[in-house]
């Protein structure tokens, strides 16, 4: 008996400590206790940006890989500038070169111009070869000459109505872009007083660069940065090691800036901003308040039901449920989990499952008591017989959470993650904490006051 009560006391002290951690870590100034909740865009406010990727120059089969690479580049960029928990995801990049979009969510960044600057600063690096003599080249040159005549006469030219004006009459695009860049660094050589930027490609890029230089010995290869030619070196021989040098009118500062930006990630495909949305901090605070209020009223309603219907076991279940909430919130802080409004909904739903496990246990206990067993035996057998039902219901919930997390978008992933963590913790709460507290109650026989305390409903 005393062992059970000492164990229950330890459990209560640990629960109190976890609850104190949840409270203190939210507002503590000391570094070791500073574990605030990480809030998503809908709760903390921030910026939602939608970019459209120009994938018309790459094959349909390469679009998914290019968009995945683009996502990684943008994530590195926003992480470098200290944006907390950015969400970068790809949408509609399966085929056709159309509707390939990049969605960027930056919690805490409410200045749209600043957010756009973070994304757009990353350069787009391209390598182009000389356009061969052909009727297509003649048509492009003729289109440029006609446009220049119109401009010289004081008129204007609509580029959208003449696609040929979007083409470079001197150079043609290739498959080699910043997508294959491995590293870049400032270099100096004795043949020039200006610094240059040495670049190195990965294995796939090195092969593309080798084939390109082999096919263009004696010709020039233009290096474009953000659509502007910055260097047009002549190929003297094939370059097989995947290393090249970008030379131009650089000084030390501009060369360092270019190398830094390229190392942060050259965009594998050009992108264009098509949509912006700012969620203010006031709306985020309102969503947090409503979510916390909903959780509080839900907890109070559950607690009242458990106490009125199950009496002493209900009181112990409420204590266990309180410890469950403290434990889940601590897990959210330490993992950490980025909380969204959908995540809060998952947490509230997991509270319902925690109560469901206790209800199953208590109903099994009632059945054992009706069968004539002593109270202590009814408690033990109630837990054993309820375990299979609790296990099956929680495992099915976990399977659903895994499927939602695997196939869902960011908001669905947040719901699935908080729900899964809540399910796992609720199993521990119902099977371990409630059991320890019931054992420590010291009741052995269902007689007199004990019969009332362990009764339920109107019985």
pLDDT score for 409: 64
**Which bin fits 390, alpha (ψ -120 to 50), beta or left (φ > 0)?**
alpha
340 with 414: CB under 8 angstroms? yes
The pLDDT of residue 421 is above 80: yes
Task: Indicate if the pLDDT at residue 96 is higher than 50.
Answer: no
Q: Are 387 and 431 contacting, i.e. CB atoms less than 8 angstroms apart?
A: yes
Model confidence pLDDT, tens digit, residues 209-259? 899 888 888 888 888 876 777 778 788 888 888 888 877 677 888 788 777
- What are the counts of helices (DSSP H) followed by strands (DSSP E) for the chain? 13, 13
Q: Is the pLDDT confidence value at 93 over 50?
A: yes
- 125-268, which class in CATH? alpha beta
Q: Considering the entire predicted model, what is its pTM?
A: 0.57
- Residue-wise pLDDT tens digits, 327-344: 888 888 887 777 777 778
Query: What does the alpha-carbon distance between residue 76 and residue 266 come to, in Å, rounded to a whole number?
Result: 11
Cross-sheet strand order for the sheet of 271-279: 87-91, 101-107, 46-53, 271-279
The domain locations on the chain are 2-37+280-453, 41-122, 125-268
- 97 pLDDT exceeds 50? no
Least confident of 11-15, 152-156, 241-245, 280-284: 280-284
Secondary structure (3-state) at 313: helix
pLDDT, tens only, 59-81? 777 778 778 778 877 776 676 55
Q: How many other CB atoms are there within 10 angstroms of residue 156's CB atom?
A: 7
* 377 burial level (CB within 10 Å; 0-12, 13-18, 19+): middle
Which of 3.40.5.90, 3.40.630.10, 1.20.1640.10, 2.30.110.10 is the CATH number of 2-37+280-453?
Answer: 1.20.1640.10
As a whole number of angstroms, the distance between CA 21 and CA 26 comes to: 8
Domain 41-122, what architecture? 2-Layer Sandwich (3.30)
Instruction: Report which DSSP code applies to 97.
Output: T
Residues 424/334, Cβ–Cβ less than 8 Å:
no
- Rounded Cα gap, residues 178 and 220, in angstroms: 19
pLDDT tens sequence across 364-397: 887 777 777 777 777 778 788 888 888 888 888 8
Residue 224 Cα to chain centre, angstroms: 32
The torsion of the CA quartet 226, 229, 235, 238, rounded to 10 degrees, works out to 0
pLDDT bin (cut points 50, 70, 90) of residue 16 is confident
Confidence band, pLDDT 50/70/90 cuts, at residue 444: low
pLDDT-based confidence at 1, cuts 50/70/90?
low
Average pLDDT over residues 405-434: 79
- For 205, other C-beta atoms within 10 Å of its C-beta total 22
CA distance 395 to 412: 19
Q: What is the dihedral of CA 227, 232, 234, 238, to 10 degrees?
A: -40
Q: Which residues, including other chains, have CB under 8 Å from residue 388's CB and lie 6 or more apart?
A: none
What is the pLDDT, as a whole number, of residue 433? Answer: 81
57 vs 54, higher pLDDT? 54
Range with the poorest average pLDDT among 21-30, 195-204, 294-303: 21-30
The SS3 of residue 71 is helix
Say what the pLDDT of residue 349 is.
Answer: 82
Strand 181-187 vs strand 196-201: parallel, antiparallel, or unpaired?
A: antiparallel
């Amino acid at each position: 008996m005393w062992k059970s009560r000492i164990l229950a006391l330890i459990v209560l002290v640990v629960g109190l400590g976890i609850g104190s951690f949840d409270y203190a870590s939210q507002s503590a100034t000391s570094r070791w206790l500073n574990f605030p909740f990480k809030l998503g865009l809908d709760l903390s406010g921030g910026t939602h940006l939608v970019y459209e990727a120009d994938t018309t120059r790459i094959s349909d089969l390469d679009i998914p890989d290019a968009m995945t690479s683009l996502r990684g580049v943008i994530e590195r960029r926003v992480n470098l500038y200290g944006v907390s928990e950015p969400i970068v995801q790809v949408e509609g990049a399966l085929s056709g070169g159309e509707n390939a979009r990049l969605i960027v969510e930056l919690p805490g960044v409410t200045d749209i111009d600043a957010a756009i600057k973070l994304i757009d600063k990353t350069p787009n690096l391209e390598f182009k070869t000389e356009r061969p003599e052909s009727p297509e080249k003649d048509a492009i040159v003729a289109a440029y000459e006609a446009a220049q005549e119109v401009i010289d006469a004081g008129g204007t030219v609509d580029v959208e109505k003449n696609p040929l004006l979007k083409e470079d009459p001197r150079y043609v695009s290739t498959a080699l872009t910043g997508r294959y860049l491995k590293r870049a660094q400032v270099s100096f050589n004795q043949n020039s007083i200006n610094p240059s930027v040495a670049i190195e490609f990965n294995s796939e890029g090195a092969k593309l660069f080798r084939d390109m230089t082999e096919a263009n010995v004696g010709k020039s290869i233009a290096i474009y940065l953000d659509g502007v030619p910055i260097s047009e070196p002549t190929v003297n021989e094939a370059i097989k090691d995947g290393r090249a040098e970008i030379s131009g009118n650089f000084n030390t500062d501009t060369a360092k800036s270019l190398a830094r930006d390229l190392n942060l990630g050259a965009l594998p495909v050009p992108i264009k901003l098509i949509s912006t949305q700012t969620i203010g901090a006031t709306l985020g605070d309102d969503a947090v308040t409503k979510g916390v209020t909903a959780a509080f009223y839900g907890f109070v309603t559950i607690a009242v039901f458990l106490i009125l219907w199950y009496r002493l076991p209900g009181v112990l279940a409420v204590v266990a449920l309180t410890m469950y909430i403290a434990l889940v919130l601590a897990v959210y802080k330490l993992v950490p989990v980025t909380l969204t409004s959908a995540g809060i909904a998952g947490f509230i739903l997991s509270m319902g499952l925690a109560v469901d496990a206790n209800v199953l246990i208590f109903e099994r206990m009632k059945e054992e008591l009706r069968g004539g067993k002593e109270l202590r035996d009814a408690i033990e057998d109630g837990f054993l017989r309820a375990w299979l039902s609790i296990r099956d219901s929680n495992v099915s919930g976990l399977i659903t959470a895994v499927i939602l997390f695997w196939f869902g978008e960011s908001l669905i992933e947040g719901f699935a993650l908080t729900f899964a963590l809540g399910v796992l913790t609720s199993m521990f709460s119902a099977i371990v904490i409630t059991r320890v507290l019931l054992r420590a109650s010291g009741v052995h026989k269902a007689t007199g006051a004990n019969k009332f305390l362990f009764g339920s409903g109107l019985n």
